[in-house]
Amino acid sequence: MQILVCVKQVPDTEAKVVVAEDGRSISERDITFIMNPYDEYAVEAAVRIKEASSSEVTVALVTVGPPRADDALRLGLAMGADSAMRVWDEALENVDGGAVAGVLSVVAQRVGFDLVLCGRIAIDDAMGEVPLRLASRLGLPHANAVTELTVADGSVRARCEIEGGTQVVELGLPALVTTQKGLNEPRYPAIPAIMKARRMPIELLSLESLGMDPDGVRAVTRTHVDGLTVPPGRGAGRVIAADSPEEAARELARLLRDEAKVL
Amino acid sequence: MGGIFVFCETRNGSFRRVPGELLTQFRSVADAKGEPLGALVVGEPVADEVPQLSQWGADAVVHLDGPQLSDAGPEAIAAVLAAYVRDAAPSLLVFGNTPLARTVAPRVAEAVGAAFVGDCVAMAWEDGRLQLVRPMYGGKLLSRVLPAPEALAVVTFRPNALGFADARATSPTYEVVAAAVADDEPRSAVLETAVKSGDRVSLQEAEVIVSGGRGLGDAQGFSVIEELADAFGGAVGASRVAVDSGWISVDHQVGQTGKAVSPNLYVACGISGAIQHFAGMGSSRVIVAINKDPDCPMCEKADYTLVGDLYKLAPALAAELRRMSAEG
């Protein structure tokens, strides 16, 4: 079985993001990049399927990103993936999720797959668009935001998050699954695995090598980010002083009703 | 053709609030564009379907009579919507950003070659173009996004972010469209659905959320949070620490790696206010912090802060709310 895991490199959640001079992107200075945390669940899930299987399972990683994204791929290799590919081309700067899904679908068809795993969302743009576009493009059934996953006898059984609860679904392979927090605890690779991953090759793919026309890929982008701004700060609030919890509660309830008008 | 269509999601036999927000808010955009405002319902009929959608200002109600939402996979719902969109050729398809929309809307966008913009919190119609605002980097920045004017756009909005606009009642047309899913569409099979009992509102649509964090100390602490949430008629949220400690399930987590919410009132109990938590609730209209540390980041950002023992303050507040509600 061949598992393809799509990963993305994103700024660390602790990162202080600053708008770049172009007003449309962020300054990368002083930013630490990490593998998108939801993609770590996907890599971990793939490696666990491989480890638990008696037949041969290969785990291939793919990302669309600039050279720094190799670090995310190397983490995935250290976690136990077998191979890694990075697609990059100048034409991919500032394209939207529709274009990225188009590129990933060409890679997927080229390398072959039984199961595609993706994090349910990337924490940078939080759009949650690429995996489901990819599923649609590849004609695959999908399970979104899964917290349990088993693969057996040519099908996937997954527990997905739905409104107010969960749903267990079954998908025949090939299929695409997006991973949610709670699915697993991603491993911290040991030093020897990290050293080994450093020496593993990362296959670099250009749009040309995928037989894709850069202008065509750019044209698939149907959204334009017009500008990034810092949201307005919240004004200083009020500390409610009182002699007893009952008095404090009474005063807060009054303020919520009469001043904030939220009751 | 053209038209702005709002996907009207139902829950327990009635419409959710968010399609009401979207219909009333997009009324003025439809008028400015000179296009009809449509309400799109999929699956099981709703009791007072047309009257409710008339109150929200829809010009047309289209009921896609096909897969029941409760037991159809997302592929089937997306296929039914995509088939209708291809046929009716609207300019805009709008969803509330609910778990259902998250698993359906991008798939629809891809199937019909549309732009997709998810989790928007504001919109404007300016210079003949739709301008959308959405948080990025966990709410640290706001991004202004313009869908290409010539293409269909599929857009989702965070519940409670737009609120309701005043709407004039309309006399919508009503059409039932038979919607079949082709045999060759990929599909997943639903084996089991487990919905938590209780009438508590969904976290993302709740007008009031009471959340607990590290300061609770243990899982039992959530009984105090639930009591206060019930007194407000609200939902229960949690910080990452509370979830990772196993005190409450992950579907309650608010924050950058949990849910993004925009309630009218967010009550943070024993939550210090890490930047990742704030990323998920910073757009709440009013924030109350209940914390023993008046210098914690949450207290600095809150509109109102109660300083002290949350095990005394939260029950006192719940009792006061019950007293107020009993007095009417």
- B274-326 pLDDT per residue, tens: 988 998 998 899 999 999 999 999 999 999 999 999 999 999 999 999 999 88
Give strand ranges (E) for chain B. 4-7, 10-11, 14-15, 37-42, 60-65, 92-96, 115-120, 122-126, 129-136, 141-147, 153-157, 173-178, 189-195, 208-212, 235-238, 265-269, 286-291, 304-307
- pLDDT over threshold 60, residue B199: no
Structure tokens at A17: 């993001």
Contacts of B119 (CB under 8 A, 6+ apart): A126, A127, A128, B97, B134, B135, B156, B157, B158, B260
Is B320–A250 a contact, with Cβ atoms under 8 angstroms apart?
A: yes
**Cα angle, residue A98 at apex, residues A96 and A99 outer, rounded to 5°:** 70
Is A260–B303 a contact, with Cβ atoms under 8 angstroms apart?
A: yes
Gap between the Cα atoms of B33 and B2, Å rounded? 9
CATH number of the domain where residue B314 is located: 3.40.50.1220
Q: What is the CA radius of gyration of chain A?
A: 22
Confidence of residue B257 (pLDDT cuts 50, 70, 90): confident
**pLDDT the model gives residue A4:** 98
Q: In terms of Cα–Cα distance, which of B280, B258, B257, B264 is closest to B140? A: B280
- Which of chain B's residues have a Cβ under 8 Å away from the Cβ of A133? 106-107, 109-110, 116
Mean local confidence (pLDDT), B85-111: 96
Q: Which residues pair with B259 in a beta bridge?
A: B254
Cis before A174 (ω within 30): yes
Domain range enclosing A105? 2-219
- Which of chain A's residues have a Cβ under 8 Å away from the Cβ of B68? none
Confirm whether B202 is domain-assigned. no
Gap between the Cα atoms of A197 and B149, Å rounded? 45
What is the least distance, in Å, from the CA of B217 to any CA of chain A? 20
Confirm whether A107 is domain-assigned. yes
Confirm whether A231 is domain-assigned. no
Mean local confidence (pLDDT), B183-198: 83
Full DSSP string of A82-109: SEEEEE--GGGTT--HHHHHHHHHHHHH
Query: Is residue B99 helix, strand or coil?
Result: helix
Provide the percentage of residues in chain A whose pLDDT is more than 70.
100
Do A254 and A131 lie in a common domain? no
- pLDDT over threshold 90, residue A235: no
Contact B48, B13 (CB under 8 A): no
- Which of chain A's residues have a Cβ under 8 Å away from the Cβ of B193? 162, 165-168
Mean local confidence (pLDDT), B148-155: 92
Do B323 and B219 lie in a common domain? yes
Confirm whether B201 is domain-assigned. no
pLDDT digits (tens, 9 = 90+) for A7-43: 999 999 888 899 999 999 999 999 999 999 999 999 9
What is the least distance, in Å, from the CA of B173 to any CA of chain A? 30
Structure tokens at B231: 């007194």
- Which of chain B's residues have a Cβ under 8 Å away from the Cβ of A252? 288, 304, 306, 317, 320
- Which of chain A's residues have a Cβ under 8 Å away from the Cβ of B320? 246, 249-250, 252-253
**pLDDT the model gives residue B197:** 62
**pLDDT the model gives residue A68:** 97
Total domains in chain A come to 2
What is the least distance, in Å, from the CA of B48 to any CA of chain A? 22
Q: In terms of Cα–Cα distance, which of A69, A87, A110, A89 is closest to A215? A: A89
Do B131 and B224 lie in a common domain? no
User: Tokens 């002699």 correspond to what residue?
Assistant: A243
Query: Which string of b and e fits A61-90 if b means at least 16 CB within 10 Å?
Result: bbbbbeeebbebbbbbbbbbbbbbbbbbbe
**pLDDT the model gives residue A70:** 98
CATH number of the domain where residue A168 is located: 3.40.50.620
Checking ipTM against 0.90, whether it exceeds it is yes
Q: Please tell me which of the candidates B73, B100, B264 has its beta carbon nearest to residue A163.
A: B100
Confirm whether A225 is domain-assigned. no
Q: Please tell me which of the candidates A130, A222, A248 has its beta carbon nearest to residue B147.
A: A222
- Which of chain A's residues have a Cβ under 8 Å away from the Cβ of B85? none
Is A26–B251 a contact, with Cβ atoms under 8 angstroms apart?
A: no
What number of other Cβ atoms are within 10 A of residue A188's Cβ?
10
Full DSSP string of B27-85: HHHHHHHT--EEEEEESS--TTHHHHHHHTT-SEEEEEE-S-TTTS-HHHHHHHHHHHH
What is the least distance, in Å, from the CA of B72 to any CA of chain A? 10
Contact A263, B324 (CB under 8 A): yes
Confirm whether B58 is domain-assigned. yes
**pLDDT the model gives residue A34:** 97
Q: What is chain B's mean pLDDT, rounded?
A: 92
Is B282–A245 a contact, with Cβ atoms under 8 angstroms apart?
A: no
Do A122 and A16 lie in a common domain? yes
Gap between the Cα atoms of B143 and B137, Å rounded? 10
- Which of chain B's residues have a Cβ under 8 Å away from the Cβ of A262? 207-208, 264-265, 285-286
User: Tokens 């593993």 correspond to what residue?
Assistant: A200
Domain range enclosing B252? 208-327
Total domains in chain B come to 2
Gap between the Cα atoms of A158 and A178, Å rounded? 10
What number of other Cβ atoms are within 10 A of residue A185's Cβ?
9
What is the least distance, in Å, from the CA of A152 to any CA of chain B? 15
What number of other Cβ atoms are within 10 A of residue A262's Cβ?
19
Gap between the Cα atoms of B68 and B62, Å rounded? 15
Do B85 and B234 lie in a common domain? no
**pLDDT the model gives residue B72:** 82
Is A228–B324 a contact, with Cβ atoms under 8 angstroms apart?
A: no
CATH number of the domain where residue B42 is located: 3.40.50.620
Is B193–A139 a contact, with Cβ atoms under 8 angstroms apart?
A: no
